[in-house]
Structures are given as structure tokens and as C-alpha cells.
Amino acid sequence: MSEAEQKTETPEANPARSGEMIRALVGVAAVSGILISVVFQWTLPAIKANRAEALQKAVFAVIPGVKTVVTFEVTQEGKLVALKEDKEAEEKMYAGYDQQGQLAGVALEAQGQGYQDVIKILYGYNPEKEHVVGINILDSKETPGLGDKIGKDPKFLANFEALDVRLKEDRSGAVHPLEVVKQGTKSKAWQIDSITGATISSKAVGKILNASVPQRLPVVQKNLDTLKEKP
Amino acid sequence: MNTESLGFIFLNATLINNFVLSLFLGICPFLGISGKRDTALRMGAAVTFVMLVSSMAAFGIHHVLVWLDALYLQLIAYIAVIASTVQLVEMFIKKFSPTLFKALGIYLPLITTNCAILGVALFQTLREYSFLQSLVFALGAGVGFTIALGIMAGLREELNLADVPSLVKGAALTLMLAGVMSLAFMGFGGLGG
Amino acid sequence: MQDMAGQTAAPTLETFLEGIWKENPVFIHLLGMCPVLAVSNSAVNALSMGLATTFVLVLSNIVVSSIRNLVPSQVRIAMFIMVIATFVTVAEYLLQTISLEIYAALGAYVPLIVVNCIILGRAESFASKNPILPSILDGLGTGVGFIIAIFMMGALREILGSGSLFGVALFGDQFEPWVVMILPSGGFFVLGFILLILAWTQERMKGEAK
């Protein structure tokens, strides 16, 4: 590795040198800035297309029968507005429509602390039946071979094919908050069979959904009419 | 908006996801530290300080860039700030403690390329920490780094007196030690959960 | 930290080959450890990181070599780092166009390429003292050396830790993977082990030469 520049020279001793240094630094900074912004603009369309494709795939995985996806932004007042293209928004939800243009379900993101680090999930919600219809682990750093089974174990994932998340009359929360139970003891539609050896990760998924349900499902229900009309 | 508590962020950065032993940041000084516990601790202190300053600057820069819609300049801006901070710290240490300056030697300017510092800036941006959360995160990262460095220096110091086969001495030994340390730190997983 | 000998070299094959074996940046000079350990938990990730790093290395060598006579010595490190940071940012966007999945898998370690000591090291000790063509060769050679090192780690760790290579299962369902290999500690162990083997091989070769 190189030595640091000599700092024994004081700026006053070499005013000409200072000017040269500053010019050089500013020059490099300017050229760099230009190069980066050019490459950014040039690659933007391709990256946007990639992102849209990835989103489609993720939503298809959590809502069965989806053909097209429309992104909605949740406004401050709790209303839904269809988002164009790749625009950013604080809170989003993804409506999936089937071949006939009917609303098949809504995909929502949620995250929370798992065993090792934050787990990010995408889950599909069928507002008519008031069921969770699928989950997809978007990002997790759980222990490979143990905690990371939450994303791969087919029996665990099967828990989420028809999970009861009916809302109370006043829409303040779920009638039955989700329960994570020991593997094999699931008897009710709002229970989740945990994975043996990955209890904490399994419970984390339950916690994440329980936190997300009372917050986001009421918004979906309130705006059901907007959602049903495919934009 | 990130909802992690401050205590958790600190614990996470220091132990659960230790910068050196879990995230593999700051390996160069970690491997190079030659078993002098004192130097290790001072290095850790210098790094922690640079982390704190860079964290604050990175927070400011990120928000300015968002406002200017020029996020693609983020990496360059971060690295420029880190390089400047290290220069300043170097001048500061040289002026106020020439002995420390000599002891740290080549390691001081190397802090610029210490992945851990850039790592702090990048992760705090990724996790959308608030200003206070970022500071606590930087502090935790620095403390965790110092802990890892301190333990490694202590181990190396002890091993200097032990009968280690010459083939293993040096980098291979340090890496094996690091592997065991990393395994041990995994025990912190789930803490505070 | 060793100082890598910079020579004013003519563009020879030697320059290229040196980076691969004799002066391998990872195994001999112990540089660039962070990505080697962090991203080597699968062969695909390791290879992608190796290619991305080489991309930045070669381009920054070219630019540093081109401006080497215009750079005031006082600020050369700062300028080199800015050049490197520029190409890393470029690499980030290119990677996103090629594969979002790989980009996500590499995570924060892509921008961290900018502090990979290898790149700054080559800029400082070779590219800033040599014309463009040798610098390109040096960059390529060092890059290939890096790719070999990180790929070896990635392949080993994936085979032992996941029982697969490039995602293709090798051993069938009954295989109980050696999970620690894809954990951080596994990274340390495998690299330490490789260095041990190398040291042993060198001892053997020295012994035979006597």
C-alpha cells in the first residue's frame, strides 16, 4: 500500500501548488460527475425494465392466476392512486389482475426482525375471501440450512395458501391474530405450522404478518372499488 | 423509516452482526494487527472517530442528493468525505500526539480504504436510519471493530509464546482464529429479539 | 502491508502472468480480503464479483496511467480514489442492467469495490508509473489472479456448504451440507486453509530446489 502524501508542506509555502491541486481535483470531480450521469441515463431504461419484470415475477409467485400487475400508491389520506411506471412512493401495494381483468389479489410488502437480521416478505391477499394466499421471502439473512427454510420448505409455504385474516367489523384488526404453532399441530385456518429447528424464524414471519395485517388490510378493503376497476 | 430501537442497533452492530466477524469489513487492519493490544485499541478509537464523523456527513450528503435527485453521485461523495476526514484526523493526531502517530504508522492513511468506514455509510443509507440511529450505528460498528481487533491482538500476543508450527504462522493462523471468533460471535444471534 | 514492486515495464506477457501467480493479489499480497470472504459463498456470486472488480481495475488503470503526468503528487491518492469510485458507480449500473438478481446477491459489496485495496494498490504502484499498455496488462493479470482466488473460494464453499455448483445440485438429496462453509466463519476457515496449503507447497518446492 502506498504512503500518505507528505503533509509537512504548509499551504503558504506553495500557493501555486495549491491552485494546481485544486484544479486537478475539481477537474477529476467534474469529469467523473459527467461520466456517471451519462451512464446513469443510458442504463436507466434497461434497469427499469428489469425491475418491472422482477416485480411481475414476485407478484405472480404470491397470487395465483395473475396476468398483469398494477402498482398503487397509498396516499396520506389512505386512498389509492395508480402509480405510473417506476415512480417512487412511501407506501405501495401491487394489484394483480387475471386474464379477464378481474382483481385476483393484492400483494403487499412487509418486514421485521428475524433471527439474524431483517426479513422482508411479499404476501398475497385475496380481499374477497379475506385470506393470505401466498408468501415470498424477498430478503433474509437467516441461518442457511435452518432459518432460511422459511423461504424454501414447501410444507411451511403451504401454510400461507389460505390463511384466515378476516377483519373485524370495524376493521381495526384481524378477528383471529395469526398464531405460530408447533409443527404438525395446525388445526385452525389462522395458525401457521412452524419449522422444527427454525422456530424463531417461523415466529418472525408470523409476527411480521400480524404487524402488517391491521395496518394494511383495512386500506385494501376501504379502497376495494378503486382496485376492482383495473386502470 | 426504520423502527429499530437505538439499543438494538448498537447491540446489532457490536455483537450480532459484528462488522469484522460477520460482515467482513475492515479485514485488512484486522489481519495486519501484529498482536500489540495497545496499538489495536488506539486504532479502534481512531476508526470509531472517523466512523462517527463520516456517518454524520454521509447522512447529510444523502439527503442533499435526494433533494437534488442526483443519487448516482452518492458513492463518489461518500468516499470523498471519508478521505477528507481521514486526512483531518491524521493531521490532528500528528499535532497532538506524535507518539501515537508514529505507533499507528502506515495504518492511519489506510483507514481511508478501510471498508468498514464506507460500510457504515452504505448500510445506514440502505437501512434508512435517522440521524440519531446512524450515529448509534456508527458507534456500535466502531466499538465492535475495536472489540474484534482487541481480541485478535490479545490472542496473537499469547500465541507468540506458544509452540505454533512455522507453516501456520502468519495469515493462515490469523484466519483460523478469525473463523473461530466468528463462530463464537454467532452465539449472539437472536439477542434482544 | 508489502509494497508491490513497480517497474517501468515494456508490455510483456510477463506483466500479465505475474499478477496471476507470483504476485497474486489475494494469496501472496493478502489484499482485497473483504470481498473474497464476503461474496464467496457461491460460485456465481464469486465469479460476478471477480469480473466486476477486474472491470473497474482495468479501466481505472487505463485512466490513472493516462493522467499520470498531470497529477500533482500531493493529491494523487484522492484523485485515484475518485477515478475508481467513478468506475465502480458505472459498474453498479451496468450490473443492474445485466442481472438484478446477481446485483441484489452481491448487495452492498459492489460499492465496496471502491475500497478494495487491490485497485488502489495497482494504481499507485504500477499504473501511475507506467504507460497505458503495460498498465492494461497489469490490470488484466491482477484481475485474473483475483478472479481465480475468489472463484476457488466460491466454488469450494458452495460445493461443501450447499452441495451444488452454480446452483446445480451435485450430490443428491441425502447429502447433508457442511453449512458452516457458507457462514462467515467458513469463509475465514477456507481461506486460511488455502493459505496453509500454499505455504506447504512453497516449502516443498523450496526443499526440492535445494
Residue C88: predicted pLDDT: 94
**Residue ranges of domains in chain B:** 25-184
Kindly report, residue by residue over C180-196, the tens digit of the pLDDT: 888 888 888 888 888 88
Each domain of chain C, given as residue ranges in start order, spans 18-209
Chain B partners of C180 at a C-beta cutoff of 8 Å?
Answer: 183
CA distance B96 to chain C (A): 23
Q: Say which DSSP state C107 is in.
A: G
List, run by run, the mean pLDDT of 10-residue segments along chain A (231 residues). Answer: 42 59 83 90 89 86 86 83 73 87 89 82 89 86 77 85 85 84 85 85 89 88 84 76
For the CA atoms of B17, B18, B20, B23, the dihedral, rounded to the nearest 10 degrees, stands at 10
Within-domain flag for A35: no
pLDDT at C48: 92
Which pLDDT band holds residue C125 (cuts at 50, 70, 90)? confident
**Alpha-carbon distances, residue A98 vs A60, A208, B123 (angstroms):** 10, 27, 39
Residue A27, in any domain of the structure: no
ipTM beyond 0.90? no
User: B173 in contact with C at a CB cutoff of 8 Å?
Assistant: yes
**pLDDT single digits (tens) C29-71:** 778 888 888 888 888 899 999 999 999 999 999 999 988 888 8
Domain of residue A164, residue span: 46-228
Between B3-12, C16-25, C144-153, the lowest mean confidence (pLDDT) is in C16-25
CB contacts under 8 A, A 139-178 vs B, are 143
CA torsion angle for B4, B8, B9, B10 (degrees, to 10)? 160
CB pair distance less than 8 Å for B175 and C86: no
Domain count, chain A: 1
Q: How far is CA A176 from CA A108, A168, A189, A192, B25, in A?
A: 19, 9, 9, 12, 44
In the prediction, which pLDDT does A86 show? 63
Which pLDDT does position A16 carry in this prediction?
Answer: 56
Average pLDDT, chain B: 83
This prediction has a pTM of 0.81
- Cross-chain Cβ contact B106/A7 below 8 Å: no
Cα maximum dimension of chain C: 62
The angle, 0 to 180 degrees and rounded to 10, between the axes of the packed helices C184-209 and B171-185 is 160
pLDDT, greater one: C90 or B45: C90
pLDDT of residue B35: 64
* CA B43 to centroid of chain Cα atoms: 10
CB-based contact A32 C85, cutoff 8 Å:
yes
The label of the residue with cell 389520506 reads A77
A66 located within any domain: yes
Shortest Cα distance, chain B CAs vs residue A95, angstroms: 24
What pLDDT, on the 0 to 100 scale, is given for residue A173? 82
